[in-house]
């Protein structure tokens, strides 16, 4: 009895999207490997991955535009796997918007309502056009609007039907950078306002991180890791995730000893400390792990001042190979014995004029920022896919 009440009060399961063992194969090619995924009602969920990773296919299976080779799609208690797209309470914002060129903006937005036999659509359509700030454009044809406006029409046309889930297939891909940032905030605002579950497919990791509550990183038809953006960024469990979301430096190291929740690693003659909780690989003494650290966590000190570095920090020596001034920060590439191109981003607060290419430096960081990964994987996985 108690479990039942907690379930209904905690999260209403009527709106969750549940994919169970869903897979898609085209002949010998597997686009999506059997996949289990639950998207809670009202969340902003992102499917992130490079092109061809199966994210769009997954989305289209939820929409009903693609038939899964196996597995089921459920919306709340309802199994919708066998339902055609026009019978699913799900709407899509297409990558190319797919606005009907022969209908004006008003009729584009009213399309879904009219197909469901609603007679008086005027009020609803006008309200929806107000929500996306296009009230003035109702009688124009799609080709007369700018890219950003067309994008908003596509969102309005889907949202007006009050779907249980709104699917967004790379909706901002065709917009320029500035407009994309603006639309990201706009979409986030709309989602908060209407409270509908959004499932957003994108290859842009920044877009996924700024907008979504939960991100699923997909690679080669599988979900590599799922979690909140900060969790994915700080605790990547595979090199693909570590490289696809931002930049990571990897040091191949040997496990020297374990004491309590600290793992001591041996790399190029030096010692590094890794928190046990942040190591996703089995770390037995003598085994190998990849120790990762993000470029912005690292501090750079000229070798002459090495004595001033506080004790207890992980440190590595090297020589600056390259530096580029970005404005807010300077990006250094450091050649070190343990890793040939160590990336370091330093905020331009107090710039040390001695830090120029050729200078001998010490890299140091708080051991808590180190993460450990299985050494058997390719340290460069996901580097090329990231944009």
Partner 1 sequence: MPFVNWLKRKLVVIAGLLTLGYLLLPNVIVTVFSFNKPKGRFNYAWQRFSLDAWKDPCGVSDLCGSLSVSLQIAVWATLGATLLGTLIAFALVRYRFRARGAVNSLIFLPMAMPEVVMAASLLTLFLNMGAQLGFWTILIAHIMFCLSFVVTAVKARVMSMDPKLEEAARDLYAGPFQTFVRVTLPIAAPGIAAGALLAFALSFDDFIITNFNAGSTVTFPMFVWGSAQRGTPVQINVIGTAMFVVAVLFVLTSMVVGNRRNRQKA
Contacting positions for partner 1 (CB under 8 A): 63-65, 84-87, 90-92, 94, 96, 98-102, 111-112, 115-116, 139-141, 144, 157-158, 161
Nearest-approach distance from CB 170 to partner 1, in angstroms: 12
Nearest residue (CB) to partner 1, 105 versus 293: 105
Nearest residue (CB) to partner 1, 165 versus 265: 165
Nearest residue (CB) to partner 1, 88 versus 278: 88
Nearest residue (CB) to partner 1, 65 versus 245: 65
What's the rounded Cα separation, in Å, for the pair 219 and 273? 30
Overall size of the chain counted in residues: 387
Q: Beta strand pairing status for 165-169 and 197-202?
A: parallel
* DSSP-based three-state secondary structure for 189: helix
Helix H or strand E encompassing 257: strand 249-259
* DSSP-based three-state secondary structure for 82: coil
Nearest-approach distance from CB 166 to partner 1, in angstroms: 11
Nearest-approach distance from CB 284 to partner 1, in angstroms: 52
Q: Beta strand pairing status for 214-219 and 44-48?
A: parallel
Return the closest-CA partner of residue 245 out of 263, 274, 218: 218
Nearest-approach distance from CB 90 to partner 1, in angstroms: 8
Nearest-approach distance from CB 384 to partner 1, in angstroms: 28
Nearest-approach distance from CB 102 to partner 1, in angstroms: 5
Nearest residue (CB) to partner 1, 75 versus 298: 75
Q: How far apart are the first and last CA of the chain?
A: 50
Nearest residue (CB) to partner 1, 4 versus 102: 102
Which phi and psi (to 5°) does residue 195 adopt? 70, 20
Nearest-approach distance from CB 134 to partner 1, in angstroms: 15
Around 182, how many Cα atoms within 13 Å sit in the side-chain half-sphere? 11
Nearest residue (CB) to partner 1, 100 versus 325: 100
Nearest-approach distance from CB 160 to partner 1, in angstroms: 9
* DSSP-based three-state secondary structure for 202: strand
What's the rounded Cα separation, in Å, for the pair 341 and 254? 20
What's the rounded Cα separation, in Å, for the pair 331 and 339? 16
Return the closest-CA partner of residue 300 out of 342, 366, 361, 370: 361
Nearest residue (CB) to partner 1, 54 versus 64: 64
Nearest-approach distance from CB 277 to partner 1, in angstroms: 44
**155 CB contacts (<8 Å, ≥6 apart)?**
93, 132, 171, 187, 190
Nearest-approach distance from CB 144 to partner 1, in angstroms: 6
Nearest residue (CB) to partner 1, 157 versus 278: 157
* DSSP-based three-state secondary structure for 105: helix
What's the rounded Cα separation, in Å, for the pair 385 and 243? 9
Return the closest-CA partner of residue 266 out of 275, 256, 257: 256
> Is the Cβ–Cβ distance between 98 and 75 less than 8 Å?
no
Nearest residue (CB) to partner 1, 162 versus 271: 162
**165-187 as b/e, with b when 16 or more CB fall inside 10 Å?**
bbbbbbbbeebeeebbeebbebb
């Amino acid at each position: 009895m108690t479990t039942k009440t907690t379930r209904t009060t905690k999260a209403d399961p009527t709106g969750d999207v549940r994919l169970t063992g869903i897979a898609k194969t085209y002949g010998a090619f597997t686009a999506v490997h059997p996949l289990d995924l639950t998207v809670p009602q009202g969340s902003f969920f992102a499917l992130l991955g490079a092109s061809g990773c199966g994210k769009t296919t997954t989305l289209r299976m939820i929409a009903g535009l693609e038939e899964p080779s196996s597995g089921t799609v459920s919306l709340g208690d309802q199994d919708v796997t066998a339902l055609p797209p026009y019978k699913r309470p799900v709407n899509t914002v297409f990558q190319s918007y797919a606005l009907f060129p022969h209908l004006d903006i008003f009729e584009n937005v009213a399309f879904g309502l009219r197909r469901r036999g609603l007679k008086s659509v005027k009020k609803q359509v006008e309200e929806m056009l107000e929500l996306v700030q296009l009230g003035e454009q109702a009688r124009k044809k799609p080709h007369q609007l700018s890219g950003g406006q067309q994008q908003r029409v596509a969102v309005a046309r889907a949202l007006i039907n009050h779907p249980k889930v709104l699917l967004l297939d790379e909706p901002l891909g065709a917009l320029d950078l500035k407009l994309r940032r603006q639309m990201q905030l706009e979409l986030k605002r709309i989602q908060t306002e209407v409270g509908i579950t959004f499932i957003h497919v994108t290859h842009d990791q920044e877009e996924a991180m700024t907008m979504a509550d939960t991100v699923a990183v997909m690679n080669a038809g599988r979900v590599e890791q799922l979690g909140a953006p900060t969790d994915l960024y700080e605790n990547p469990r595979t090199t693909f995730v570590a490289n696809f979301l931002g930049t990571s430096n990897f040091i191949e190291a040997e496990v020297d000893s374990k004491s309590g929740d600290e793992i001591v690693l041996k790399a190029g003659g030096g010692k590094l400390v890794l928190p046990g909780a942040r190591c996703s690989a089995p770390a037995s003494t003598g085994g190998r792990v990849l120790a990762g650290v993000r470029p912005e966590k690292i501090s750079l000190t000229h070798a002459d001042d090495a004595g001033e570095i506080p004790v207890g920090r992980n440190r590595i020596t090297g020589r600056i190979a390259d530096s580029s001034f970005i404005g807010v920060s300077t990006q250094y590439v450091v050649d070190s014995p343990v890793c040939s191109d160590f990336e370091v981003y330093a905020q331009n607060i107090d710039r040390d004029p001695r830090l120029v290419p050729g200078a001998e430096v010490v890299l140091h960081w708080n051991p808590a920022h180190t993460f450990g990964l299985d050494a058997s994987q390719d340290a460069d996985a996901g580097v090329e896919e990231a944009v």
